[in-house]
Amino acid sequence: MIDLSNFKLWLMENKAYSDRTISNLASRLKRADSFLSWFNDPVYQFRLEQLHDFQVLTTNVKSQIKKAVKLYFEYTESLHRKTFRNHNCKLQVLSLFSNIGVAEAYLDSIGVNVAVANELIEKRASLYSKIYPHTNMICGDITDKEIFEKIIEKAIDCNVDTIMATPPCQGMSTAGQQIKDDERNKLICPVVQSVKIIKPKYVFIENVPLFYQTKINIKGKNLLIPDYISCELGDLYHISRHVINTKDYSVPQTRERAILLLTRKDIKQLWTLPNKENTVVTMMDAIGNLPIVDPYVTDVSEKELLDMFPHFYERKKVALSISHWNMPPHHIKRQVIAMQHTPTGCTAFDNKKFYPIKENGEAVKGYHNTYKRQNWDTAAYTVTMDNRKISSQNNVHPGRKEYIDSEGCQIYSDPRTLTLYELMIIMSLPTNWPVPMDTSEAFLRRIIGEGIPPLFVKKVFENLLKEIS
């Protein structure tokens, strides 16, 4: 069976081909496989060329198919050559449901090597490989037998001794629909199976707090997920359950998470959480030093934009000099006006005159945590996947008093959502995180809203490294 997803990832990493060329090569390889099922032997191409279906193709198409087959042989050979990095790392990690690698952003810097990673979605896996080129990324569905076996084989080959799993939480998140028997809730099962086969020394599992109260159907029985884990792994592992808030660990964001730390019972050093910290990093601490950024108003003319924000381009230039990701967010005029008249920590729904309105002029109905500015003197609210919208929950910059307008109204600065750069800081991502500059901002915003703040992950792993040093 050919592995198109990982073949395309390999082409992206190793060949200077355009996306279109890579797509065409994958298509030609798939066509070859339809003529003759792939087998990993040089005689494959000879037998392919003897087939009538191949011989009747145009010379150009035959040449493209042969090139794709040759490259696929090169790809399969590379799988045997690629070894894991050691660099005196004390831990070799398998990252499951790795997305683009938000959780592991600091691990390499503290001597923890993510040797193998798995991600279902090709676009995410591709970006992960660009950010972490030394990690063996296996793209595909972990519930697929062949993909699962490939993950296990590579993890064992790389001497993995730690598994980090962050399975999707949408099926149980309070921000989601919480559909009963959501199949995503059962993605803990391949995690447990991988632990049973690899038998790592340590396991880190992260999810939303409702993870502990969610039931899954196992062989006709509805079991709470923690009970399922204990039943399957309790004989072999010490299992430590926690609910944490990342603001207690110097992350400038309130984000509650369920954390399970497993230690194999023959290991003396138990993996424990670090102690909570005494001070909270506020939004003022995190982004208070950044200059004003005016929003780009999408539904007005250039003249009206500059009437609203005379310094728009000057401020944009300063913002982008700080970071490529400090781009002004895009919003519509009526939402921007509502937020210009909304003080720090307040919602525009409290405005008597400048109340949020629809396009037809009707008043907007919504929760009071929407159209809401954050506070300077607390940690940020939980970053969500919808973090680009003023109309979604707790997304608007705190702002400052800026000036009094001609009607005597107080105008507040930054009537917008946080820039992507500000979100990265709130998520505790390193400001030099090597994300390619051509990455879609909308894509990154959504990914960041799904992730666990990496500074917390770093501190948990550092606590383990202290124990085993």
Which three-class secondary structure state does DSSP give residue 434?
coil
**8 Å CB contact between 138 and 151:** yes
Residues 6+ apart with CB under 8 A from 235: none
From the list 135, 112, 128, the residue with the least C-alpha distance to 201 is: 112
Catalytic status, residue 89: no
Distance (Å) of CA 460 to CA 24, 95, 273, 367: 44, 15, 6, 35
Measure CA 43 to chain center: 42
Residue 35 tokens read as 């003529």
Distance CA 276, CA 302 (A): 50
Which three-class secondary structure state does DSSP give residue 57?
coil
For residue 432, the tally of other CB atoms under 10 A from its CB is: 7
Q: Which of 89, 139, 169, 346 is the catalytic position?
A: 169
Q: Which amino acid is at 104?
A: E
**Helices 122-131 and 4-14: crossing angle, nearest 10°?**
30
Residue at token pair 């003080």: 343
Which residues carry out catalysis? 169
